[in-house]
């Protein structure tokens, strides 16, 4: 059920990096999928019909699913789709991927172990004990997709396989799959913010 795959089938896989998830202060998500200008894209009506049908199937399957197509357009030859999700769980279920947003304490209760190396927003090594000591006060985004994330808070620590792009924007470090050149993540990405 991934519109990202549908759009990137139109172009280079590396274009996925431009796709961004924004997390509101209340935890609602907005996904902006950006396709590629380099390849022939699907006609707008076909793209919109695919997105609407896919979202409708998901919402019907999941009784309390809160996924909504906000826009579907082609600007300057680049397909763009904006989808909102009621929560991180809707996003994760819709894409059949790992995505979590909440306090560190909530993440630990969900089974995330934080067994990784962290760096601060200057790139200096950070102690996991410092991060875990603030488990009720700090928030974390955990994902397994090569996608940028924007939040209303400031990112202060990220796992070593991630980078802070701006104070409120972070994402996985680029790693290309040697077999097919796709951007990948080799482990869960942890993005800590407060």
How confident is residue 35, by pLDDT bands cut at 50, 70 and 90?
Answer: confident
Phi-psi region of 180 (alpha: psi -120 to 50; beta: other; left: phi over 0): alpha
Residue 156 has pLDDT above 50, yes or no: yes
Query: Token digits for 31?
Result: 């996904």
- pLDDT above 80 for 11: no
Q: Using a cut of 0.85, tell me whether the model's pTM lies above it.
A: no
Look up the CATH architecture of domain 1-97: 2-Layer Sandwich (3.30)
Cα 19 to Cα 14: distance, rounded to the nearest angstrom:
10
Ordered by start, the domain boundaries in the chain are 1-97, 98-194
pLDDT digits (tens, 9 = 90+) for 126-142: 988 889 998 899 999 99
pLDDT tens column, 51-107: 999 999 999 998 777 999 999 998 888 899 999 999 999 999 999 999 999 999 999
Judged by average pLDDT, the poorest of 24-38, 44-58, 98-112, 147-161 is 24-38
């Amino acid at each position: 059920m991934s519109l990202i795959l549908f759009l990137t089938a139109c172009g280079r896989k590396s274009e996925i990096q431009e796709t961004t998830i924004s997390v509101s202060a209340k935890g609602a998500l907005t996904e902006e999928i950006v396709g590629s200008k380099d390849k022939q894209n699907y006609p707008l009506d076909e793209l919109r019909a695919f997105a609407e049908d896919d979202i409708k199937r998901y919402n019907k399957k999941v009784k309390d699913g809160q996924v909504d197509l906000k826009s579907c357009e082609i600007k300057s030859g680049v397909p763009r789709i904006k989808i909102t999700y009621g929560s991180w769980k809707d996003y994760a279920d819709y894409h059949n991927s790992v995505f979590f947003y909440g306090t560190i304490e909530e993440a630990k209760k969900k089974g995330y172990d934080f067994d990784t190396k962290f760096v601060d927003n200057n790139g200096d090594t950070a102690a996991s004990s410092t991060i875990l000591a603030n488990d009720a006060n700090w928030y974390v985004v955990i994902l397994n997709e090569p996608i940028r994330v924007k939040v209303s808070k400031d990112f202060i620590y990220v796992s070593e396989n991630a980078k802070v792009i701006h104070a409120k924007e972070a994402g996985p470090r680029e790693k290309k799959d040697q077999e097919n050149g796709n951007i990948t993540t080799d482990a869960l990405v942890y993005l800590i913010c407060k």
